[in-house]
Copies of this chain bind each other. A is one copy, B any other.
């Protein structure tokens, strides 16, 4: 169902720019766990949301996530040629199209989110959701985290910087997903803030578990080469604190998220399962 929503909101016929549309769709439809739209939808439901106004935002957050991978893979940044076993967008379509497909996806995310104004929804809530989407994707969110991650390559990284990178690069879009679900369902400001903190905890736990898997998993299980952090001499939570302390931190963050969920009314069953899987995931 989430796949269908994402697919439905992809751009239609683009005349002479069909090649750009092809590259955009390739990037979005390359697979992935759709974690962000799932969290957004479940948060919306948790607060009693039942309309379709959430759908353009679910598609938009996945477009933003996809564009970030497309630009991350560029030769100027990570220079990756494979993602999930397939050529990366720039490798398949050329570097210029890689840049432009990312730009067009990011822009189309906002065009898509703005379609919510044509739906039966409170325009003030839709406007607030668009503001949060932009804030958490930009310099005070994901882009800021990406930048610092790139800027510290090959340098000593302090724990404070590492926390900053994880919070913004991974945490911000999860915060945003849960906040938008809550905003569009009409949650109170206090509950929106609780959702932001849960999203941040989940993002940090997710990232630290990623660091662990890069050490303990196998190429087959992970679907990509393990040991890349060591090869790139990258500072991670594991290189600073070791594997055991890292898994303890995942457990601590998960427990904190569970505590925050307990402060919210409604059936948080989905989130309990989600956190359990997150703590022990192998890929």
Chain A interface residues toward B at CB < 8 A? 11, 14-17, 19-21, 24, 67, 71, 74-77, 95-100, 102-104, 106-108, 110-111, 114-115, 117, 123-124, 126-128, 130-131, 133-135, 137-140, 143-148, 150-151, 161, 164-165, 168
Q: Contacts A111-B131, A131-B117 given: A76-B104 contact, CB under 8 Å?
A: no
Contact between B124 and A117 (Cβ–Cβ < 8 Å)? yes
Q: Contacts A130-B110, A131-B111 given: A14-B99 contact, CB under 8 Å?
A: no
Contact between B117 and A99 (Cβ–Cβ < 8 Å)? no
Contact between B108 and A107 (Cβ–Cβ < 8 Å)? no
Contact between B161 and A134 (Cβ–Cβ < 8 Å)? no
Contact between B107 and A106 (Cβ–Cβ < 8 Å)? yes
Q: Give chain B residues whose Cβ lies under 8 Å from the Cβ of A76.
A: 74-76, 95-96, 98-99
Contact between A111 and B135 (Cβ–Cβ < 8 Å)? yes
CB distance from A160 to the nearest CB of B (A): 8
Q: Give chain B residues whose Cβ lies under 8 Å from the Cβ of A24.
A: 139
Contact between B108 and A117 (Cβ–Cβ < 8 Å)? no
| Interface residue from B103, B124, B144 paired with A106 (Cβ < 8 Å) | B103
For A16, A71, A148, the residue with the greatest tally of chain B CB atoms inside 10 Å of its CB is A16
Contact between B107 and A137 (Cβ–Cβ < 8 Å)? yes
Chain B residue nearest to A74 (CB atoms) is B99
Query: What CA separation (Å) do A126 and B165 show in the bound complex?
Result: 33
Query: What CA separation (Å) do A201 and B97 show in the bound complex?
Result: 28
